[in-house]
Amino acid sequence: MKIKSADFELSAPNLRGCPARPLPEFALIGRSNVGNSSLINLLAGRADLARVSDQPGKTRLLNFYLFNATWRLADLPGYGYAHVSKQERADFNQAVADFLTQRESLLHTCVLIDSRLPPQPIDLAFLEWLTGERVPFSLVFTKTDKQSRSATMTAVDRFKQAALRDLGLEPMIFLTSAKTKAGRTELLQHFHDLMA
């Protein structure tokens, strides 16, 4: 799928504030700092659409980006913040939960996983919740440029085994890098197929 345009649409604090016009949507979510913003920029083919930052826990809103004027990416607040109060955390967890379980135009969710880490309990717990809620998802491994191909494949394998053990399923997997642009074509093709 060729990207002809990609624009920020709006930020919403909760489900009610989300865009009203129904368009196919894909959600991106992962641990804070996993690379959500970089992935949005990679897919958009722009360096500056979403704000990339080294400071985790900045985005507390659901951010919508309109692609080709026909579909959206929903950038959801990450989980696993260290510096946010419990009250705030509960707030955006609720907004995220509402969005993932009730948003009618949501087609698919991409869960971002840092390719350099061993399987993280918080990621597996989140996938378990998604599975229980019957939210369809794929796994998008990020930052694959930061290590060797074999180290990435080992991490992916370990995650696959953990997912099979904990969830009893084998999710679809994408390997991406905002630096080398790896995975861009495959992920856009996946979205295209889901919209067809």
H/E run at residue 26: strand 25-30
H/E run at residue 152: helix 149-167
Q: Is 145 in the site for ligand GDP (CB under 6 A)?
A: yes
- Count residues binding ligand GDP (CB under 6 A): 18
Q: Is 35 in the site for ligand GDP (CB under 6 A)?
A: yes
- In angstroms, rounded to a whole number, what is the distance separating the alpha carbons of residues 99 and 118? 28
Q: Which is nearer to ligand GDP, 48 or 54 (CB)?
A: 54
Supply the Cα-derived Rg of the chain in whole angstroms. Answer: 16
Structure-derived torsion over alpha carbons of residues 146, 147, 152, 154, reported in degrees to the nearest 10:
-150
Q: Which is nearer to ligand GDP, 74 or 78 (CB)?
A: 78
Q: Is 115 in the site for ligand GDP (CB under 6 A)?
A: no
Q: Is 63 in the site for ligand GDP (CB under 6 A)?
A: no
Q: Which is nearer to ligand GDP, 55 or 150 (CB)?
A: 55
Q: What is the DSSP letter of 10?
A: E
Check: CB of residue 59 under 8 Å from CB of residue 30.
Answer: no
- Tell which one of 4, 83, 146, 192 touches ligand GDP (CB under 6 A): 146
- Residue from 102, 34, 19, 115 nearest 67 by CA: 19
Q: What is the DSSP letter of 145?
A: G
> Is residue 142 helix, strand or coil?
strand
Q: Which is nearer to ligand GDP, 16 or 150 (CB)?
A: 150
Q: Is 147 in the site for ligand GDP (CB under 6 A)?
A: no
Q: Which is nearer to ligand GDP, 153 or 164 (CB)?
A: 153
Smallest gap from residue 180 Cβ to ligand GDP (A):
8
Q: Which residues contact 2 (CB under 8 A, 6 or more apart)?
A: none
Q: Tell me which stretch binds ligand GDP (CB under 6 A): 5-13, 33-41, 63-71, 83-91.
A: 33-41
Q: Is 142 in the site for ligand GDP (CB under 6 A)?
A: yes
Q: Is 177 in the site for ligand GDP (CB under 6 A)?
A: yes
Work out whether strand 106-114 and strand 137-142 pair parallel, antiparallel, or are unpaired.
parallel
Q: Is 152 in the site for ligand GDP (CB under 6 A)?
A: no
Q: Which residues bind ligand GDP (CB under 6 A)?
A: 32-38, 52-54, 78, 142-143, 145-146, 177-179
